[in-house]
Structures are given as structure tokens and as C-alpha cells.
Copies of this chain bind each other. A is one copy, B any other.
Amino acid sequence: MSSDSLVPETRVLAIASHVVYGYVGNKMATLVMQLLGCDVAALNTVHFSNHTGYRQFKGTRSTAQEISDLYQGLCQSHLTDFDVMLSGYAPSAAAVEAVGAIGLDLQRQAESNPGSFFWVLDPVMGDQGRLYVNDDVVPAYKKIIHHADLILPNQFEAEVLSGIKITSLSTLAEAITAIHTTYSVPHVIITSVRISQFSSSPEATTDNLTVIGSTIKSDGSPRLFRVDVPALDCFFSGTGDMFAALTVARLREAIFAADSTLRSTKSWVSPDDVQATDLPLAKATVKVLASMHSVLERTLEARDAELCAAASATEEELSSSEEEKQKREYLRRTKAAEVRIVRNARFLREPDVEFQAQEWKKEDLPVGLQ
């Protein structure tokens, strides 16, 4: 690896979950950002043996007080010169508030230097129509999101935050506009929308995942772009964290590549004459998705190879009940689907596929937004 393939030097505070085994949360995000050249301070909000997709785990959650204490430890030794904060899963409403207070404090420290600090917030609340956090976490997020520079909800989280049920391209655009205006969040990316679910869509027959992003204009309107990538036939845990981490690194790179005044502009918001597909956010997103696609394709190959090579059943397994056999098989498949980051690091640094960002044309948008 030459240092040319690294992004500009970036000091990140990453606040998310830790798992001993596998790659989700901070275990994923920290490594991904480090592989791209970011110096990462990792503040862990839980300490679990493995991700919850295994349906069983052991470990402990950090309290809000423990999260605040660790940050106070950084403050007292003057270790808070971060360029970016990436915040992900927090295990309670109080923990979300503690993370929010950290983001606010870092913003306060940076307020005399616009653009010197940027907060990427992944509002981890649920997926596929279901909350997997306590109900009180939702209002806690709604309070802190006002302060973030970029948020990365999935489709369900975008619905929760915007109050708009996303059933079409029009309602998707409405949800993003609502997030811009309700929360004053300058940048939004909605990760992994399956457009084919919208039966009215002409793309209904192709199985793509679509990522939709926008950077706000000065009049509060969105600049919408979309990137379509082929969907892979497997569920992988940690892809949201991978997306967020890659976005931190690639957005910073795109900001440095843009007009030099941009990086000293509050929240890195491009001037109004920058088109949607020319936004640093759009340029970052295509690189992020290229890396993810390559790594996940190779993960799928490695998963299939691992499942084929799986040791023949042990004597203990042969004598076990049907329920135990099914559980064992589920665990085996979950383990085999762990994302293969370490041996595929080169695809993070040098993505070798090309996706395109497309602008959403006015005719795609509902009448009120045209």
C-alpha cells in the first residue's frame, strides 16, 4: 500500500458498540477508518461477545455515566482535537443523551473555526419496520439530531424521524426534505432502500439497492442524488457501520478535493450552484458503495466456501435434538456471513468498480417539491 491510497489525515472520535468476535459497530467502523488512514479514538458503548444477530450473546452495556466519564478523561488530558465524530449505537436513551452532549461539547470547542469539526450521526433505532431499541430512545435521538452535520438513517429510521411512511419515490423525497427542514440537518443519506418494493416504480423488476442522499441548499430545498447497486442475496450484519465509516473517510477526502473554501465552511455545505451529482457527498457515496460491493461479494464467496467446507457433524451433534441441530446450523450460517474486512482491505483503499450518482430529475419528484 502506498500512502497515496490513504485519505487526508483525519482524527475521528467513534462512539459505538464493541464485539469481541466479528465485525459490527465500532469493531467494524474503527478498523475501516484506520485502514483508510484515519486516526480513530474508539469509545465503546457496549462490550458484547458477538453481534445480536446470533440471537445470543454475553457482555455488558456502558452506562451513560461511563460514556461521559471516558469523554471527561479525554478532556482532562487535552485529547479532544477531533476533526470528525461518528456516533452509532447507544444502548439507552440516557446513553444517546450522553453522546449528544459529547457532540455538542466538541462543536462548542470548534465554533471559532467553521468546518473544523463535523458530526456524522447514525441514528441506530431499528430496521425493517421494527424498533430494536426502547421507545424512549426515539425522542432522545430527535433531540440531538438537530446538531448533527450528516445523518445516515436506513429507510425505517428515516420514516421514524420524518413521520412519513416511505412507499414511493415521492414519499422518499418528502422524507428527506422533512429531515432537512425539521431537524436542520444539512446532509442526509438514506441507506439501502429497496426501490423494487414500490410497485408503481418502473424499476420494480430489477433487484437493486438504492442509496439516496442530499445536501441542503440555502433555501432549505434538497439536492437529491441516487446511486443504485446490485443487491446481494445474503443478509450481512455490520454493513450500516461499514457504510458510515467509509463515508467519514471518503467525504473528508472529497471535501479536501473540492474548492479549498469548502472545508472552512460550516458543515461543509457546497454553494447552491453545485449540482447534486457534483456534491462531495455524492462523490463519496459512489466510492463507498464500490468498496462495499467488492467486499460483500467476496464475503459471499467466502461464506459459501466456509459452509461447504463445514466439518461433518460431530457425534454430539448427531445425538442432539432437531431444535438443537437447527440452532447449531443457524449459528454456523451467521458466523459464515461475518463480513471479511481484513483480507479485503485493498478494496476499501482502492475500489475497483464504478457506480454512478444520478440526479433526481424534477419529474421524479412529487408536485409539491418540483
Q: Does A44 reach chain B (CB closer than 8 Å)?
A: yes
Residues on B with C-beta less than 8 A from A198 are: none
Q: Does A74 reach chain B (CB closer than 8 Å)?
A: yes
Q: What is the CA–CA distance of A83 and B34 in the complex, to the nearest angstrom? A: 24
Q: Give chain B nearest CB distance to A14 CB in angstroms.
A: 9
Q: What is the CA–CA distance of A22 and B59 in the complex, to the nearest angstrom? A: 24
Q: What is the CA–CA distance of A343 and B34 in the complex, to the nearest angstrom? A: 9
Interface string of A26-67 (1 = CB under 8 A from B): 010001001101111111100111100010111110100010
Q: Give chain B nearest CB distance to A347 CB in angstroms.
A: 10
* Pair B342/A34 contact, Cβ less than 8 Å: yes
Residue of B nearest to A80 (CB): B21
Q: Does A331 reach chain B (CB closer than 8 Å)?
A: yes
Q: Give chain B nearest CB distance to A18 CB in angstroms.
A: 7
Residues on B with C-beta less than 8 A from A5 are: 1
Evaluate whether A79 and B335 lie within 8 angstroms (CB atoms) in the complex, with A43-B20, A59-B73, A73-B20 already known: yes
Which A315-370 residues sit within 8 Å CB-CB of chain B? 328, 331-332, 334-335, 341-343, 345-346, 349
Q: Does A260 reach chain B (CB closer than 8 Å)?
A: no
Q: What is the CA–CA distance of A112 and B253 in the complex, to the nearest angstrom? A: 51
Instruction: Give the residue of B1, B27, B34, B74 whose beta carbon is less than 8 angstroms from that of A21.
Output: B74
Evaluate whether A78 and B335 lie within 8 angstroms (CB atoms) in the complex, with A9-B343, A34-B342, A47-B70 already known: yes
Evaluate whether A50 and B31 lie within 8 angstroms (CB atoms) in the complex, with A1-B346, A335-B79, A343-B37 already known: no
Q: Does A76 reach chain B (CB closer than 8 Å)?
A: yes
Count of chain A residues near B, Cβ 8 A: 55
Residues on B with C-beta less than 8 A from A48 are: 70, 73
Q: Give chain B nearest CB distance to A295 CB in angstroms.
A: 13
* Pair A69/B59 contact, Cβ less than 8 Å: yes
**Main secondary structure on A side of the interface with B:** mixed
Instruction: Give the residue of B38, B43, B66, B342 whose beta carbon is less than 8 angstroms from that of A39.
Output: B342
Q: Does A72 reach chain B (CB closer than 8 Å)?
A: yes
Instruction: Give the residue of B37, B58, B79 whose beta carbon is less than 8 angstroms from that of A342.
Output: B37
Residue of B nearest to A5 (CB): B1
Evaluate whether A50 and B74 lie within 8 angstroms (CB atoms) in the complex, with A31-B31, A60-B66, A69-B58 already known: yes
Q: Does A205 reach chain B (CB closer than 8 Å)?
A: no
Q: Give chain B nearest CB distance to A309 CB in angstroms.
A: 12
30 A–B contacts, CB within 8 A, in A order: A1-B1, A1-B349, A2-B346, A3-B343, A3-B346, A9-B343, A18-B18, A20-B73, A20-B74, A21-B41, A37-B343, A38-B342, A39-B343, A44-B44, A44-B47, A47-B47, A47-B70, A48-B70, A48-B73, A49-B69, A49-B70, A49-B73, A49-B74, A49-B79, A56-B73, A57-B73, A59-B66, A59-B73, A77-B331, A77-B335
Q: Give chain B nearest CB distance to A47 CB in angstroms.
A: 7
Residue of B nearest to A1 (CB): B1
Q: Does A288 reach chain B (CB closer than 8 Å)?
A: no
